[in-house]
Amino acid sequence: MRKLRLYLLLFTGGLLTACQTEQLPTQQEIAPGVIKLQAGEIDTYTPYALFGGKPALEAMKQLPTAELPFSPDEVRIQVKDRGCMVEVPLADDEQLYGFGLQIETFGQRGMRKRPIVNDNPLNGLGYTHAPQTFYVSTKGYGILVNTARYTTFLCGSNQKKQQNLQDAEGRKKIATTTEDLYKNRSNGNKVYIDIPGAKGIEVFVITGPEILDVVKRYNLLSGGGCLPPMWGLGFKYRVKGDAVQDSVIRFADYFREKQIPCDVLGLEPGWQTAAYSCSYIWSEERFPKHKEMLDQLKQKGYKVNLWEHAYVHPSSPIRKDMEPYSGDFLVWNGLVPDFLTPEARKIFSDYHRTLVEEGISGFKLDECDNSNISYASATWCFPDAAQFPSGIDGEQMHQIFGSLYVNTIDSIYREMNTRAYQDYRSSGMFMSSRNAVLYSDTYDHKEYIQALCNSAFGGLLWCPEVREAHSAEDFFHRLQTVILSPQAMVNAWYLQYAPWLQFDRGKNERGEFLPEAQEYEAYACTLINLRMQLIPYIYNAFYAYYKEGIPPFRPLLMDYPKDKRLRDISNQYMIGDGLMAAPLYENKKSRTVYFPEGTWYNFNTNEKYEGNKEYEINTEFDQLPLYVRQGTLLPLSEPVPYVDPQTVFNLHCKVYGTPTASCQLLEDDGISYNFKKGEYNIVTLEADKGEVKLKRTKEGDLKRYQLSGYEFIN
Amino acid sequence: MRKLRLYLLLFTGGLLTACQTEQLPTQQEIAPGVIKLQAGEIDTYTPYALFGGKPALEAMKQLPTAELPFSPDEVRIQVKDRGCMVEVPLADDEQLYGFGLQIETFGQRGMRKRPIVNDNPLNGLGYTHAPQTFYVSTKGYGILVNTARYTTFLCGSNQKKQQNLQDAEGRKKIATTTEDLYKNRSNGNKVYIDIPGAKGIEVFVITGPEILDVVKRYNLLSGGGCLPPMWGLGFKYRVKGDAVQDSVIRFADYFREKQIPCDVLGLEPGWQTAAYSCSYIWSEERFPKHKEMLDQLKQKGYKVNLWEHAYVHPSSPIRKDMEPYSGDFLVWNGLVPDFLTPEARKIFSDYHRTLVEEGISGFKLDECDNSNISYASATWCFPDAAQFPSGIDGEQMHQIFGSLYVNTIDSIYREMNTRAYQDYRSSGMFMSSRNAVLYSDTYDHKEYIQALCNSAFGGLLWCPEVREAHSAEDFFHRLQTVILSPQAMVNAWYLQYAPWLQFDRGKNERGEFLPEAQEYEAYACTLINLRMQLIPYIYNAFYAYYKEGIPPFRPLLMDYPKDKRLRDISNQYMIGDGLMAAPLYENKKSRTVYFPEGTWYNFNTNEKYEGNKEYEINTEFDQLPLYVRQGTLLPLSEPVPYVDPQTVFNLHCKVYGTPTASCQLLEDDGISYNFKKGEYNIVTLEADKGEVKLKRTKEGDLKRYQLSGYEFIN
């Protein structure tokens, strides 16, 4: 049912120039509330075709229907010689969010955004570890351009000449600063989307009515959010890059002896005989008996995670087999597997299965992004013009490489009916259901908090990891934030000792501990124990992510779409439905916290705050900058040193500002995908008449939770 | 005579994928020593077609012929679905330079360069005010890709998998710093050039035998270098953006009263009724009698330069006429003229002719580049996907916009047989013959010096302008550098008073002068007078630029191609054949200066230095960091307060380390193009037997030079 219109572009004044075809896009509802517009010839590899998965149709049907603020007919698609141009209406009072893991900006209106995969975001242009050609609007809809091509979004930053001639007076004030000269005075009434090279395009219009509904639909469209293994919600520590077998064991013993909870130890490049590029062979020099070590770690309750990247070293056992299924350019002399071919995926996953079977619980997939630095690091950027056996070019491969890579590894675990929880440095669209967390080297704490907010718009998980610091404030504020994130990880890949003993990198290397080392160790231990207390609550937030598509960590505006003050707040976020985090940063002992409507409680002190107001609040190093919504029943677990399938969580429930409240918890084995087959209970905690009771949907062997106490806070 | 080969890409291992056409390029010598390779369908608008001009064939024939280090057949051109890919051989010991006005890097080997027009270079990627898809090699050839498309050069930074499998051992050392991890270990044997979107391409191979010969050929290919008006080589001062008629006159009087030479006063945005975008109408509010002011300035010996950009404000008299000949997007609510159409050029130049006839000697063409900043300045970037009546898109228009703009204005002066000397913020290829100088806001002094070296590879002129400073060292070192550049300009567009009175911006605004203001004013006066002394010498260096294509300001490696130490020296440069500048920077009173072979003399002290050696040399604030090559006859003029057509330069000649030497000077009216019609003398200064004599080719009315004295320095 494709209609074609032939346009003659007539320029005012009678100049006749080019003729071009504008195609009236076809429209199709591909899932409840998701309309696909399509024009022209679609690329072989699109994010949705590759990663879209199976929509969770039943859950999508439960969502309210919504009117769009414009008709889908008003979304214009032009297929031109240069590529495709999409135009989407934009209202005056509309704000936009999204484009993947943006770390520099939050509201995107008035900006030119280029969500292109990169390790080093710059000038707010949109370069990111996880690019998404997808934005959501405060008007309650989302626009997703289903392409792996480098795409530019002009978010009301530019105006066409037909649109705006009113400012006839111009600026009379003469600016004498650059800022003043160049400030953005545009308020265009369109989003223009430029997709060079595309011969056709699919645009998904995702309906609301509110932003949270749009995000839910987006997550459900690829099957719903992920559910990490329960141990993944504990604490992870990555040891130094050149660690050897003995030093790893020393770290393992350190945590247990000091009673600092730790679930996962991560090994960095040194486990391999060659890194940059990778051999994927255990180094006998540094790990003479790695199997023995893995057994010891398992007995001590640890999971083990291995660093690698995808570039296959000449000495790797899979090098020869991978040769025909790799791109035509090398990276660090390593082959770049074409994970679009089943052969490359098989070779890679067959080999890695052996590592998994030896006891590896997940991998850290490094440098699967790209870099826009010319100098040193150009080497890990295979060219945009590279060619791959599957027929894709380097540009499009870059945008999806991280997703293909993590899926290849994840498939090993899925086949084994085991949930992994991996680290990866690049993601993209339709990855909501993947058990993997993004990380970065950029290390600006304020931006890391903002990234946590932005990750929610596109089904991404983000670890605002902590390493070294320049002060105790800097260190503990970072640790507090990472504790209140999808993955509580310290990534000490260049630190000899735990950073709470010495957060200065040079002094840490030399073993010069801080005078306060013991005190700080105790603070860190307290914070990590608080994380362990929150595991049941966070696990259940993930269950809502899986089942309903609700991001477990999300900006406040998703929960309070009518509160316009929240449009700019990207340094506070919700965790599940009852908790709000407001991390400290910039070395200040206190910060201003804005509370949306209702009444809120300080998690540490039980102090009460009224909504629609700001408060200046102090948080100590060993406290969490965490607030509880009135009406919440918060189940806190007695901390355990690590989580295993036998762990039973003893719950102490805190009921905030209400006599009646309830809370549900997913009770399953915590490690397999059996929950998808119905092998779970729902545990309900109910407060009523001054007491809290625990019920479960069915009684049986599966008992992860038991009630150990409760209190009512008013 | 196009041959086509059909390739079946067979991947090792037997995987059969795409088929693609590789075209054997046609070869044609388009000018002596310039071979054009061509394949596929060429874009309508290419830099050479637009700006190439008429090659100076006679001068090109004088150049030595050269063997290429490879056969042109080895330059491979592929026309693919994605665009064109060009592959050029690269030897192990080869270094590359060029890509336009690069400011962050000098030797480009091992880098990924993207010469894309931009106001804000980043990460050494190649973004620049003056992008050129052109590099030169120490092997004595140049490669020019004749395209206005965004092009990426992989300068040996990446390797194909067929090429390099030797490093089978890999890296055994485990890096624990990011620098160490990511250092560039590539040394590819090809330059890969990616031109997305192109359906065909022309590649010019420009022969040497040395880099200087390549550069000469490149400059001569578009008719030879420019010759500025003599007054353009004097001193230019740009007053504050919000200056009014009285304050401009006060500045004019200040220079004359203090006997500080000044040829040109530049007015910033405030002269117009509307700027951002521009009305091009004199503001009666700030300049109630602008014609009277222009007359006064003329009588005081000043030329006047006006700031503007090309974006046409709704209130501009040319707005309505320009409407049909402008792009479909606005910039600051202004129309973007499509200078590719004769109509836009005519409307724009007809209007500006009135301004010129009132006495304007040139314009400062701002913001004709682009920006890669998302936040504030996105507004002056018309989209890459913009469309223009000529049929070009925004991407290609961006790359040539500055060149088209400056040519439009320059054409007014050419028609009047008058040489202008303009400022512009964007240039491109084949602009050698244009009387215009680039400037920038980036303001890193060391990079500014490096840009001076890089400008020489592509026929560009660069003004490392000075404004405010953070110390006396910083200020005077900047002033020294700009004095030793193509345009000696202070760009005080946000300073109330001359910066030598107070170089701190805030204090300058408040009129709080430095305690040393009087002393510093005297130093500045001395330095500017030194510039006036150098005018005849510099003017003649420009004549060699015009006639032989020799850049007047150039890196040392052009003059000493065999000295490999010079491959990395980008903080020293030649001025003409006899002078070398080694500017100070980074607040140090002295610096290391490397002298190439031969003997050199300190311009200030006559101290002698032996070549192939380094010296640590001190330079005072009121001296120039300038060195003279043995054998040079340096004609220094008695300073004049400004240059006019009647100016006669009294020459004091200094002869360095030799009894016999000579020097030639172009003697013409200094303002018109009559020199092209033979209306000039060549004045020869000859030292022999202890005296210096002046001769001219023909005696007549034209006498710009007279000999007033000489000295021999040994």
d(CA A384, CA A396): 8
Q: Which residue has the tokens 């002046």?
A: B694
CB-based contact A196 B196, cutoff 8 Å: yes
Using one digit for the tens of pLDDT, what is the confidence trace for A243-297? 999 999 999 999 999 999 999 999 999 999 999 999 999 999 999 999 999 999 9
Residue in B with minimal Cα distance to A158: B379
Q: Which residue has the tokens 């929610």?
A: A456
Please determine, for residue B670, whether its predicted confidence score (pLDDT) is greater than 50: yes
Task: List CB contacts of B625: < 8 A, sequence separation 6 or more.
Answer: B480, B484, B581, B582, B583, B584, B591, B593, B617, B619
Tokens of B30: 């388009």
The pLDDT score that the predictor gives to residue B183 is: 57
Q: Tell me the whole-structure pTM to 2 decimals.
A: 0.94
| Contact check, Cβ <8 Å, A328/B176 | no
- pLDDT tens for each residue of A529-545: 999 999 999 999 999 99
Percentage of chain B lying above the pLDDT 90 cut: 88
pLDDT, position A124: 87
CA distance A76 to chain B (A): 15
* pLDDT reported for residue A430: 98
**Mean model confidence pLDDT for chain A:** 93
Question: Of chain A residues 153-172, which have a CB less than 8 A from chain B?
Answer: 154, 157-161, 163-165, 167-172
The pLDDT of residue A702: 82
Among B113, B123, B324, the residue with its CB nearest the CB of A11 is B324
pLDDT at B181 > cutoff 80: no
Confidence band, pLDDT 50/70/90 cuts, at residue A31: very high
User: A160 and B335 in contact by Cβ < 8 A?
Assistant: no
Orientation of helix B445-455 relative to helix B472-483, angle to 10°: 10
pLDDT of residue A351: 98
Least confident span in B288-297, B587-596, B698-707? B698-707
Of A126, A170, A389, the CB nearest to B313: A170
The whole-chain average pLDDT of chain B stands at: 93
| pLDDT 10s digits, A299-345 | 999 999 999 999 999 999 999 999 999 999 999 999 999 999 999 99
Q: Among all chains, which residue has been given the structure tokens 């400056």?
A: B406
pLDDT band, very low/low/confident/very high, at B173 (cuts 50, 70, 90) = low
Does the beta carbon of A443 lie under 8 angstroms from any beta carbon of chain B? no
DSSP state of B286: T
- From A12, A240, A380, residue closest to B324, measured CB to CB: A12
The whole-angstrom distance between B390's CA and the closest CA on chain A is: 7
pLDDT at B24: 80
Say how many C-beta atoms besides its own lie within 10 A of residue A439's C-beta. 21
Tell me the ipTM for this assembly.
Answer: 0.93
Asked if B17 and A390 touch (Cβ cutoff 8 Å), the reply is yes
Q: How far is it, in rounded angstroms, from Cα A153 to Cα B463? A: 35
For residue A689, report the phi and psi dihedrals to the nearest 5 degrees: 50, 45
Residues 6+ apart with CB under 8 A from B521: B258, B260, B498, B500, B501
pLDDT of the residue at B310: 98
- B378 vs A contacts (CB less than 8 Å): 110-112, 154, 157-158, 184, 186
Contact B329 A197 (CB under 8 A): no
pLDDT at residue A195, rounded to an integer: 98
Q: Do A123 and B332 touch (CB under 8 A)?
A: no
The answer for B 212-271 residues in CB contact with A (under 8 A) is 240-242, 268-270
> Which of B160, B164, B323 is facing A328, going by the closest CB pair?
B160
Q: Which residue has the higher pLDDT, A705 or B177?
A: A705
CB of B186 within 8 Å of a chain A CB? The answer is yes
Q: Please name the residues in contact with A474: beta carbons below 8 A apart, sequence gap of 6 or more.
A: A445, A503, A587
Dihedral sign from CA coordinates of B303, B304, B307, B313: negative
Mean pLDDT in residue range B286-291? 98
Measured in degrees and rounded to the nearest 5, phi and psi for residue A383 equal: -65, 150
Mutate to test the interface with B, among A103, A118, A181, A312 (most CBs of B within 10 A): A181
Domains, chain B, in order of start with CATH, read 23-161+180-221 (2.60.40.1760), 232-542 (3.20.20.80), 553-627 (2.60.40.1180), 633-713 (2.60.40.1180)
The two three-digit tokens of residue A182, written as one number: 């160049």
pLDDT at B124: 87
Chain B residues touching residue A313 (CB < 8 angstroms):
170
Q: What is the DSSP letter of A90?
A: -
A373-377, B55-59, B474-478, range with the lowest pLDDT: A373-377
Is A335 part of the contact surface with chain B (CB cutoff 8 Å)? yes
Query: CA dist B254 to B13, B249, B292, B408, B521, Å?
Result: 79, 8, 19, 34, 11
Distance in angstroms (rounded) separating the CA atoms of residues A450 and A139:
22
* DSSP per-residue letters across B87-125: EEE--TT--EEEEES--S-SS-TT-EE---B-SS--TTS
Q: Which residue has the tokens 């109910």?
A: A686
Kind of pairing between the strands at B264-267 and B303-308: parallel
Q: Which tops the pLDDT comparison, A22 or B241?
A: B241
| Interchain proximity A183–B120, CB inside 8 Å | no
Identity of the residue in A159, A323, A332 whose CB atom sits nearest the CB atom of B329: A159
- Tell me the mean pLDDT in the region B114-141: 94
Token pair, residue B339, equals 């200078």
For A449-506, the pLDDT digits (tens) are 999 999 999 999 999 999 999 999 999 999 999 999 999 999 999 999 999 999 999 9
Residue A488 is predicted with a pLDDT of 98
Q: What is the mean pLDDT of residues A161-177?
A: 59
pLDDT value at residue A123: 84
Q: Is B10 on the interface with A (CB under 8 A)?
A: no
For residue A618, pLDDT beyond 70? yes
pLDDT digits (tens, 9 = 90+) for A171-230: 556 777 766 666 545 578 999 999 999 999 999 999 999 999 999 999 999 999 999 999
Phi-psi region of B429 (alpha: psi -120 to 50; beta: other; left: phi over 0): beta
B371: pLDDT confidence band, cut at 50, 70 and 90? confident
Select from B116, B99, B117, B114 the least CA-distant residue to B369: B117
> What integer pLDDT is reported at residue A378 of this predicted model?
55
Give per-residue pLDDT as tens, B548-573.
Answer: 999 999 999 999 999 999 999 999 99
Rounded (to 5) percent helix, strand, coil in chain A: 25, 30, 45
| Token digits of residue B151 | 């092009």
Residues A460 and A222: their CA atoms lie apart, in Å, by 12
Predicted confidence (pLDDT) at residue B3 exceeds the cutoff of 90: no
Residue type, B681: N
**Contact yes or no for A467/B176 (Cβ under 8 A):** no
Q: B698 CB near a chain A CB, below 8 Å? A: no
For residue B283, the chain A residue with the least C-alpha distance is A172
Residues of B in contact with A124 (CB under 8 A): 373-375
Q: Do A329 and B183 touch (CB under 8 A)?
A: no
Q: In DSSP terms, which residues pair with A200 in a beta bridge?
A: A40
Q: Choose the mutation target among A118, A123, A366, A374 for the interface with B, i.e. most B CBs under 10 Å.
A: A374
Mean pLDDT of B681-701: 93
Which residues of chain B make contact with A377, given a CB cutoff of 8 A? 182, 184
CB pairs under 8 A between A and B: 294
- Among the residue ranges A542-546, B1-5, B294-298, B709-713, the one predicted with the least confidence is B1-5
| Strand partners for B7 | B20
CA geometry: angle A630, A631, A632, nearest 5 deg: 95
* pLDDT at residue B162 in the model: 75
**CB atoms B170 and A314 under 8 Å:** yes
Pick the residue of B174, B315, B495 with the most A CBs within 10 A to test the interface with A by mutation: B174
pLDDT tens, position by position, A356-401: 999 999 999 999 999 887 665 456 789 999 999 999 999 999 999 9
Q: Which residue of A has its CA nearest to B241?
A: A176
Q: Is the Cβ of B16 closer than 8 Å to some Cβ of chain A?
A: no
End-to-end distance of chain A based on CA atoms, in angstroms? Answer: 62
Mean local confidence (pLDDT), B464-471? 96
pLDDT band, residue B700 (cuts 50/70/90): confident
CB-CB contact of B450 with B570 (8 Å)? yes
Q: How many CA atoms lie within 13 A of B495 on its CB side?
A: 23
For A548-552, B354-358, B369-373, which range has the lowest pLDDT when averaged over its residues? B369-373
Contacts of A43 in chain B (CB under 8 A): none
Q: Where is B626: in which H helix or E strand?
A: strand B626-629
